[in-house]
Amino acid sequence: MQTRDKSGSVSRRQFVAAGVIGGAVLASGCKTAGNADWEFFTPGEARTLAAICDQIIPADDFPSASQAGVVNYIDRQLARFYRPHRDAYREGLQKAQKLSRGSHSKELEALAAEQQLQMAFLIEKEQAEFFEMVRRHTFEGYYGSPRHGGNRDAVSWRMLGLSEPPLLGRAQYDLRKADRK
């Protein structure tokens, strides 16, 4: 089903789906945390969540959580299967901002990387249940199937050295030599 968002372009959901099918070329055009039209989050909430997710899976020579689409994954699911977690996210993100302003007088996403890491430890301690939920969902988004908006271009699978697209129908072992002991 083709739906158009307000600006008349193909909706982000379809765009992401197209990215998955099209592979690397299209995927690089997927929207990131900064400019997406979110299904559930406000742009501010998305930035805050991205800051937390990127401490759970930071960038090294492979993308961070938000770069791989984890915030998109969580956002999409909050409009679908994770609907019951909406309040937990809304309130949890507000509390996290409060913690950040309290200790650094700044928004979480405006902090330097090192301070964000400190904040992540603080959130884990002060908002244990919320942090655990975000941690779980971040891993799902990063290591799960690309079709849900995360693991963009199967980047985590490539990182782990798994063939992508997968090789199927191989006969790597000779059936005649099967161990029949």
State which residue, 87 or 174, has the beta carbon closest to other proteins: 174
Q: Report the site for other proteins in 10-49 (rule: CB under 8 A).
A: none
CB of 4: closest distance to other proteins in angstroms? 26
The interface with other proteins within residues 99-128 (CB under 8 A) comprises 117, 120
- Within 10 A of 58 (CB to CB), how many other CB atoms are there? 16
CB 37 within 8 A of CB 20: no
β-sheet bridge partners, residue 4 = 10
Q: What are the φ/ψ torsions at residue 68 (nearest 5 degrees)?
A: -90, 5
Where does the chain have alpha helices with state H?
12-22, 24-27, 43-56, 70-78, 86-104, 113-126, 128-143, 155-159
Q: Measured from the CB atom, is 23 or 58 closer to other proteins?
A: 58
**Minimum CB distance to other proteins, residue 167 (Å):** 8
> Smaller CB distance to other proteins: residue 105 or 179?
179
Answer yes or no: are the C-beta atoms of 170 and 89 closer than 8 Å: no
CB of 128 to other proteins, least distance (A): 12
Q: How far is the CB of 8 from other proteins (least distance, A)?
A: 30
- To other proteins, the closest distance from the beta carbon of 140 in angstroms equals 6
Taking the C-alpha atoms of residue 180 and residue 63, their distance in angstroms, rounded to an integer, is 45
Question: Which residues of the chain form contacts with other proteins (CB under 8 A)?
Answer: 55-58, 60, 62, 77, 81, 117, 120, 135-136, 138-140, 143-145, 147-148, 156-157, 159-163, 166-175, 177-181
